[in-house]
């Protein structure tokens, strides 16, 4: 058995026809049929059965094709890795929560790029999409955020999907608001003080195995007025332009607070701990660019989260 023969079987399964697969892969149909028969004889199984709908996978054939696809994906990854190295192209890709200390690290990382050709992808999104980006889109890294109480849910999900994880930061959310906000002048802030103000919140929290409505109710205080946003630029504009607004955030860089005329305050009643966790495939080897970003991420975290 070789990689090319695996591709033939997968191609037939995807097309549901030997003739269509032969045409798509530019292989003579008799040769394709011969390869399938030889592989079936070697392995002692049947891949396909004929039906009115074409070539259908047997249970054994379905198991083979599923595993073959994974092997072929890994082969493609290896080929692409060395093709990019040969071409001298650097590649970096990460999905991350909408956190200013992470975007600050990314900005600092971007200043370390040399004159070499590079493709850099930075996607702000929720935990579910960050995982999907690694498993389905081809991203190398992800950072996911979750409440510490959901640690078991997330660790089980990552284990099931073949992902490794490393702790980046552990923190309690702080409140951020305009420097002229009524909240900014308070010596201490209680949950009840927030009721008169407009809460800005991200609209897409995610916890494996739990309904979205349950997660929202647990993650967000009961504020009578809420604005849900999906990207960080809008939340900063709202906070800097409307003194009635506030938001729960991971601690922000001092530079950003000053430039946007914002302040951040602790709320003693808030005892919920959150974690930001770096994730990547078990077999993935960190590149030089990855290591540079992690260095900047560590620096930014230490400056913001104490």
Q: Is 55 left (phi over 0), alpha (psi -120 to 50) or beta?
A: beta
pLDDT at 173 over 70: yes
pLDDT, tens only, 98-146: 999 999 999 999 999 988 889 999 999 999 999 999 999 999 999 999 9
pLDDT for 206: 46
User: Average pLDDT of 283-297?
Assistant: 95
pLDDT for 194: 94
CB atoms within 10 A of CB 300: 23
* Structural domains of the chain sorted by starting position, each given as residue range(s) with its CATH number in brackets: 3-72 (1.10.10.10), 88-306 (3.40.190.290)
- The pLDDT confidence band at residue 217, using thresholds 50, 70 and 90, is very low
pLDDT at 306 over 90: no
305: three-class secondary structure by DSSP: coil
What residues have CB less than 8 Å from 124, skipping those under 6 apart? 95, 96, 97, 98, 103, 231, 232
198 contacts 225 by C-beta, under 8 angstroms: yes
Kindly state the tokens that stand for 227.
Answer: 């604005």
pLDDT for 202: 81
User: Average pLDDT of 226-252?
Assistant: 91
Instruction: Report d(CA 106, CA 102) in Å as an integer.
Output: 6
Signed CA dihedral, 281, 285, 286, 287: sign only: negative
pLDDT, tens only, 44-53: 999 999 887 7
pLDDT for 98: 92
pLDDT for 218: 53
* Bridge partners, 174 (sequence order): 249
pLDDT at 191 over 90: yes
Kindly state the tokens that stand for 238.
Answer: 């709202």
pLDDT, tens only, 25-67: 888 888 889 989 999 999 999 999 988 778 899 999 999 999 9
pLDDT at 210 over 80: no
pLDDT, tens only, 248-273: 999 999 999 999 999 999 999 999 99
pLDDT at 214 over 60: no
């Amino acid at each position: 058995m070789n990689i090319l023969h695996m591709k033939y079987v997968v191609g037939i399964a995807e097309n549901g026809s030997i003739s269509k697969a032969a045409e798509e892969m530019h292989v003579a149909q008799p040769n394709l049929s011969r390869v399938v028969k030889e592989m079936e004889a070697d392995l002692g199984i049947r891949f396909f059965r004929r039906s009115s709908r074409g070539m259908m996978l047997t249970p054994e054939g379905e198991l083979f094709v599923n595993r073959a696809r994974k092997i072929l994906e890994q082969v493609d990854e290896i080929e692409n890795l060395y093709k990019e190295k040969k071409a001298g192209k650097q590649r970096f890709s990460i999905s991350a929560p909408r956190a200013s200390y992470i975007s600050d690290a990314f900005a600092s990382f971007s200043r370390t790029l040399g004159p070499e050709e590079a493709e850099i992808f930075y996607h702000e999104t929720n935990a579910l999409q960050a995982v999907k980006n690694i498993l389905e889109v081809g991203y190398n890294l992800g950072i996911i955020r979750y409440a510490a109480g959901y640690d078991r849910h997330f660790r089980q999900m990552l284990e099931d999907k073949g992902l490794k994880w490393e702790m980046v930061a552990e923190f309690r959310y702080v409140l951020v608001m305009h420097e002229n906000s009524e909240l900014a002048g308070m010596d201490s802030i209680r949950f009840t003080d927030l009721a008169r103000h407009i809460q800005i919140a991200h609209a897409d929290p995610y916890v494996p195995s739990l309904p979205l409505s349950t997660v929202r109710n647990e993650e967000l205080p009961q504020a009578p007025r809420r604005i849900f946003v999906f990207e960080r630029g809008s939340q900063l504009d709202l906070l800097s332009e409307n003194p009635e607004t506030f938001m729960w955030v991971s601690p922000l860089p001092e530079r950003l607070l000053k430039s946007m005329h914002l302040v951040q305050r602790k709320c003693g009643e808030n005892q919920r701990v959150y974690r930001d966790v770096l994730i990547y495939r078990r077999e993935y080897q960190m590149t030089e660019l990855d290591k540079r970003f992690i260095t900047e991420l560590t620096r930014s975290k230490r400056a913001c989260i104490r």
